[in-house]
Structure 1
Amino acid sequence: MICVRRRKFGIPYHIHWFDPSPQFHVWPLTIFYQSPGKEAHSGLVRQAFYTLHSDLSVGADGYLAAMNSSTRNQVHQMIRQGLLGTKVGVNEFTEFHNGFATDKAIAGTSVQKLKSLGESVWLTAAVWQNRALAMHATVVDHETKRARSLLSASARFEEPEDRKLIGKANRWLHWWDMCQLHEAGIGLYDWGGVAKDATAGEKLGINQFKEGFGGIPVEESHYYPVFLKSWGD
């Protein structure tokens, strides 16, 4: 389990990731993300969370074997092209991600928010010709041997061929992340959620991207104190 301490409107609260035994706390107020159970808990509101899990014990070749042919071919292309994976700092990641978020009209992140995760967040980049093409933030729980994709951002290019390269680099970086996590003793890679019953649009595209890696569908639970649900992020 990971415990993250934050404040909102001056009020301290906690976020527990992967807690198997959520309980209502009067103080500090606590939000529970991706608890493995589905039970009702007094004082808490349950929200179903759907995601995909990949087994990291099978190793690099196993990850490739689990992919569909399109995803596997794209990752192989990037391996042959000599893409490099590296860790990046909080400031570099935040600037890169927020530029992507602005272009996509989605919520950004902050240095403070990422630092609140402490040693439990990995920030990585796929680099080609000295330029970052994609970056990922991954929550890593060494206690439960579990990792969870948290944020993903891509460089922005106008040319169609450049956009294709970035998509391939993003897939490759997930594969590289999985390899690095396996070496660190992590046994499970969580794809950070899928949209239940998506049939069209961007949500369907994101689902198909993640499903291309061959993960197993799983239902878990977020739990919120009734009056804190709007604080979830």
Structure 2
Amino acid sequence: MITVKRKKFFLNFQDVYFAKDSEKVTIDKRTDIAIFVQASDKIVGAKEFHTQIIDLNKSEEELFRDIHEHDRNKINKGIKKKCFTVKINDSPSFEDIKAFQNFFKVFAEKRGIKDCNIGRINSLIKSNALVMCSAQDCDGKILCYHVYAVDEKRARLLYSTSKYIFGNDSKYRNHIGIANRYLHWCEIKYFKGKGFSVYDLGGISKDKNDDHLMNINRFKKGFGGREIVEYNKYKGISLLGRILVWILRKNA
């Protein structure tokens, strides 16, 4: 479990990741709003969160065999090409974070999605709970980034971004696709080697009307594992926090 305290504007937040029993979590009395992220127990008023997890207690051979043949082939190409350099950083610097933030900003604008939550990233770094990974080409240019929130046993993908959407030809996009899958495989091996037991691919969408999200689902499921249900919740602690959470629920 990860417990992170952070401040935004005039509010005090306490983020609690991967709680097994949310009722037993100690909340600081100065907290306005507690945010439970992927709690195991079904909290009253919480929203379901579906995600794809991989059991890292399996052998490396089993893990590779569980990956879909199409994705295994791309990983093997990444291994044989020997043109990717993978960097796994469990103590990223300010410069590392800035480089990722700039990379993600361009990606987010192209995709039409929200920018990365830099406050969340910084709070995780302060708690030694963030790992940043990247794959570079032979010229040292970064092709993709993956950012994880980690506790003692779980590595949970928070952000995944690549240059895939900037490719104008199928050859380049295929090159980025190989790099992205190869990076995931290197990370799986890294976290397994560090004694982690769960590799969490960061969410499965249930919106079947969104083709883009369905394609992301297929990509994640291509690495094997199983889908589970966990629970997210905003919980007001102070009077102000309770009022704000009530307003959020009413307008949801």
Whether the TM-score (by the shorter chain) exceeds 0.5 is yes
Correspondence list, 1:18-37, <5 A:
18-23=18-23, 27-28=30-31, 29-37=33-41
State yes or no: 1:54 paired with 2:62. Answer: no
Cα deviation, 1:72-114, whole Å, max 9, x if unaligned, reads: 1111111111122103521221111222111111111154431
State yes or no: 1:97 paired with 2:104. Answer: yes
What is the TM-score normalised by the length of structure 2? 0.82
Match of 1:133 among 102, 122, 143: 143
Q: State the aligned residue count.
A: 225
State yes or no: 1:228 paired with 2:227. Answer: no
State yes or no: 1:122 paired with 2:131. Answer: yes
State yes or no: 1:84 paired with 2:85. Answer: yes
CA distance 1:176–1:228, shift in 2 (3 Å): farther
> Is the Cα–Cα contact under 8 Å of residues 35 and 222 in structure 1 kept in the other structure?
yes
Give the Å deviation of 1:197: 5.3
* Structure 2 CA distance for aligned equivalents of residues 200 and 112 of structure 1: 29
Gaps of 5+ in 1: none
Give the Å deviation of 1:152: 0.2
* Structure 1 CA distance for aligned equivalents of residues 179 and 38 of structure 2: 28
Aligned identity (percent) is 28
Correspondence list, 1:164-183, <5 A:
164-183=174-193
Give the Å deviation of 1:177: 0.9
Partner residue, 2:5: 5
* Structure 2 CA distance for aligned equivalents of residues 65 and 95 of structure 1: 36
Give the Å deviation of 1:62: 2.5
Give the Å deviation of 1:68: 0.9
Match of 1:146 among 126, 133, 154: 154
> Is the Cα–Cα contact under 8 Å of residues 75 and 182 in structure 2 kept in the other structure?
yes
CA distance 1:84–1:36, shift in 2 (3 Å): same
Give the Å deviation of 1:159: 2.4
Cα deviation, 1:169-205, whole Å, max 9, x if unaligned, reads: 1111111111111111111101100012525510110
Partner residue, 1:184: 194
What is the TM-score normalised by the length of structure 1? 0.89
Cα deviation, 1:125-178, whole Å, max 9, x if unaligned, reads: 011112211110011111xx1111110000233222111111221111111111
> Is the Cα–Cα contact under 8 Å of residues 207 and 213 in structure 2 kept in the other structure?
no
Partner residue, 1:15: 15
**Structure with the largest fraction of strand:** 1
- One-letter amino acid matched to 1:79: I
Give the Å deviation of 1:5: 1.8
* Structure 2 CA distance for aligned equivalents of residues 112 and 195 of structure 1: 25
* Structure 1 CA distance for aligned equivalents of residues 230 and 112 of structure 2: 28
* Structure 2 CA distance for aligned equivalents of residues 39 and 113 of structure 1: 23
Partner residue, 1:159: 169
Match of 1:217 among 227, 231, 239: 227
* Structure 2 CA distance for aligned equivalents of residues 11 and 112 of structure 1: 13
Give the Å deviation of 1:220: 0.6
Gaps of 5+ in 2: 90-95, 237-243
Give the Å deviation of 1:12: 1.0
> Is the Cα–Cα contact under 8 Å of residues 31 and 223 in structure 1 kept in the other structure?
yes
